[in-house]
Amino acid sequence: MIAFDPTTPAGTALALLPEVVLSAASLVVLLVVAWKHQGPADSRRAGWLALASLGLTALALVWVAANAPEEPGLGLMVALDGFRYFASALILLVSAGSVLASLGYLERERLVAPEYYVLVLLAVVGLLFMVNAQDLIVLFLGLETMSVAVYVLAGYNRGSTYSAEAGLKYFLIGAFASGFLLYGIALVYGASGTTNIVQIGAQFGEAELSLMAKLGLGMLVIGFGFKVAAVPFHMWAPDVYDGAPTPVAGFMATAVKTAGFIALARVLYTSFQGSVLVWQPIIFALAAASMVLGNLVALAQKSLKRMLAYSSVAHAGYLLCALWPGTPLGMSSLTFYLVGYGVTSIAAFALLGAVGRDGERDVTLGDIAGLAETRPWMAFALSVCMLSLLGFPGTIGFIGKWYILSALVASKFPLLAVLLVLTSLVSAGYYMPVLMAMYMRPSRAPMVFFDRGLAGSARVAVAVGIIAVLALGVWPGPVLQLANHAAESLAQTAGQIVARR
Amino acid sequence: MVEAVFWFFAAVAIVSALLVVTMRNPIASAFWLVCTMLCLAGIFFLLQAQFIGAIQILVYAGAVMVLFLFVIMLLNLGRDDAALKRTPTWFAAVLLAGVLASQLVPALIRYSSERLAFEYTRSAVLADPRMVFDSTLSAAQATLERGVPGDIAKPLFEHYLVPFELTSILLLAAIVGAVVLAKRRI
């Protein structure tokens, strides 16, 4: 055990070890790519290097989690709590999943440009900074680093106008959202005199928020609302998910959403923990609108990718429900649900990327009809994903929703819980047809899936995802414990503020 | 000595500013603009505003001018002398210069160093860098020793080191992204 002191410069570097390792690794990958960027083999090499970098970063994360001091002190730029480690580990996991899914996909779509993996790594650096930020400046810069990389990734398939549209749309909306976020940060800074998330909490306390602080809070929530695609800030999501390369859409739905929610939760629970009554109505409205609109509009979608996009809007609604109570229980249900949604979606998008055909971006129900006959394992995996997204018992989606419900009921506000259950029932209306098409309808064109199996690497990602969905669905204990621990560590930071006042 | 240096910079600045507007070739005028910026930076240094001087060179003489040159070269304005000489352009230029001069000349005549000192003391809370960054006596000493850049460097490289370094990663991501999007083929 080598405990370090994060108040010194060397200690700061050690506290940021995962981020430093990943940044350095992305530079190495960039250098390798600069020399070797000709054929598919070079692209594949860059992909494996990116995976190795993510693995190294995970090791560094474990080291920091084991050696960080218990009481790091207040006023730091980066947080050293279980909340950060949990979220970072989840982000690294789903990012590794999307890299694995990309390996085969990029080759099949003839997008052999190894810079892809450099951009993914840089986006992950930004995401890690988003979840470790204990200062609004770091939070904003992390968000921008991630956004810049993902704008390019969304428009990576330059041959396709839809991909270009996705990139441009995400860029314009993202710039708009960043403006809101930055304005919110400026107003909060003006009202509190500091950008440190913990010190803002100490400054505001339980007192009535000033108008400036309220405006700042509102703009922060709007900025995050865009990033996590909550209604009414979701308009970009279907077009962007549809046009972007499928593994990138998976990355956006899982890793980016995770970081957005974690950062939002940290700001709300730490900076504005004394003004729960101010932000609860906002979160309630966003959650209710996202669940209702996301699920209803998803019913009308023909393309599976657009359907998953609206389903991701609906899941943003469920996650906002978990955010609503403002209790450690709600927080731990949020982190647990993020795990469930992350592993399920990454597998679902990897599968969609495999059944998609080049030249035609829309995968419709007709295209997967009879998949169970030709590709029984793929059909089984996609069914498990759909059931988990639906919240079917035996899958992690069920445990996650049940946990959110218990947090809502515990805080004596059953209206959101009722909405959650009702809209989940509605969602069966678009998840079940996928299963029925695969198992009950005859295959229209048997040759479609002749060479459209999963690439070996994507198979690993899907297998890990499906095993996690099923295993955690019946035995969620260990991850639940970790989620509880993460939530408690965030509550501890908030407790420190109360003690300091 | 300082006065001689000032007159040198001032004279070169005015002459090169005149050359900026009279040169026929846009590239040449852009380079004379660089010369003007450098002379202005020199004057800032003479005024003990080292930070603004350095920023003037980095941002204006460096980044902004590179942008100018790119635009000029991309638009290929080199052959289009006649279009620049049309009367409406000259009329607008003279009008703008006249408005600016009518504001600037009376202000310069009325402004004395006494009045400047008076206004400075009135607004000391905002103008004094020591007040903005750190109010302790040691910080004031440090300002005297290291000048204004030192005062900016301390928070930038100590308290805000993490965001500062993160900015460089953000710029790297932007560069890689721009190159990828601009490549001829994927």
Cβ distance of B176 and A77 shorter than 8 Å: no
pLDDT tens digits, one per residue of A395-420:
999 999 999 999 999 988 889 999 99
Cβ distance of B174 and A9 shorter than 8 Å: no
The answer, yes or no, to whether residue A274 has pLDDT greater than 90, is: no
pLDDT tens digits, one per residue of A202-242:
888 888 889 999 999 999 999 999 999 998 999 999 999 98
Cβ distance of A155 and B181 shorter than 8 Å: yes
More confident residue, B25 or A470: A470
pLDDT tens digits, one per residue of A415-461:
999 999 999 999 999 999 999 988 988 876 655 554 567 778 889 99
pLDDT band (50, 70, 90) for residue B17 = very high
Mean pLDDT, all residues of chain A: 90
Mean pLDDT, all residues of chain B: 80
- As a dihedral over the C-alpha atoms of residue A303, residue A304, residue A306, residue A307, rounded to 10 degrees, the angle is 120
User: What's the average model confidence in pLDDT over A133-149?
Assistant: 95
Pull the structure tokens for residue A149. 């990389």
Chain B residues touching residue A141 (CB < 8 angstroms): 163, 166-167, 170
Q: Which residue has the tokens 């003391």?
A: B121
Cβ distance of A138 and B167 shorter than 8 Å: no
CA distance B157 to chain A (A): 10
Q: A125, B186 in Cβ contact below 8 A?
A: no
pLDDT band (50, 70, 90) for residue B51 = confident
pLDDT band (50, 70, 90) for residue B111 = confident
Is the CB of A6 inside 8 Å of chain B's CB atoms? Answer: no
Q: Which residue has the tokens 């602080």?
A: A213
CA distance A27 to chain B (A): 9
DSSP, collapsed to helix, strand or coil, labels residue A196 as: strand
Q: A405, A421 in Cβ contact below 8 A?
A: yes
pLDDT band (50, 70, 90) for residue B132 = very low
Ordered by start, the domain boundaries in chain A are 9-500
pLDDT tens digits, one per residue of A286-304:
999 999 999 999 999 988 8
Global pTM? 0.86
Q: Which of A1-5, A284-288, B116-120 ranks highest by mean pLDDT?
A: A284-288
What is the full DSSP assignment across A329-380? HHHHHHHHHHHHHHHHHHHHHHHHHHH-BTTB---BGGGGTTHHHH-HHHHH
| Portion 59-88 of A in contact with B at CB < 8 A | 77-78
Chain B residues touching residue A115 (CB < 8 angstroms): 176, 179-180
Is the CB of A151 inside 8 Å of chain B's CB atoms? Answer: yes
CA distance B88 to chain A (A): 36
The answer, yes or no, to whether residue B85 has pLDDT greater than 70, is: no
Chain B residues touching residue A123 (CB < 8 angstroms): 173
Upper half-sphere CA count for residue B170 (Cβ side, 13 Å): 19
User: What's the average model confidence in pLDDT over A334-358?
Assistant: 89
Indicate the burial class of B29 (C-beta count within 10 angstroms; 0-12, 13-18, 19 or more). Answer: middle
Q: A259, A335 in Cβ contact below 8 A?
A: no
User: B1-79: what fold?
Assistant: Four Helix Bundle (Hemerythrin (Met), subunit A) (1.20.120)
3-state secondary structure chain B: CHHHHHHHHHHHHHHHHHHHHHCCCHHHHHHHHHHHHHHHHHHHHHCCCHHHHHHHHHHHHHHHHHHHHHHHHHHCHHHCHHHHCCHHHHHHHHHHHHHHHHHHHHHHHHCCHHHHHHHHHHCHHHHCHHHHHCCCHHHHHHHHHHHHHHHHHHHHHHHCHHHHHHHHHHHHHHHHHHHHHHCCCC
Residues β-bridged to residue A196: A135
Q: Report pLDDT for B131.
A: 46
pLDDT band (50, 70, 90) for residue A108 = confident
ipTM computed for the complex: 0.91
d(CA A291, CA B11): 69
Is the CB of A437 inside 8 Å of chain B's CB atoms? Answer: no
d(CA A118, CA A278): 41
Ordered by start, the domain boundaries in chain B are 1-79, 111-186
For B173, which of A137, A145, A157 is closest by C-beta distance? A145
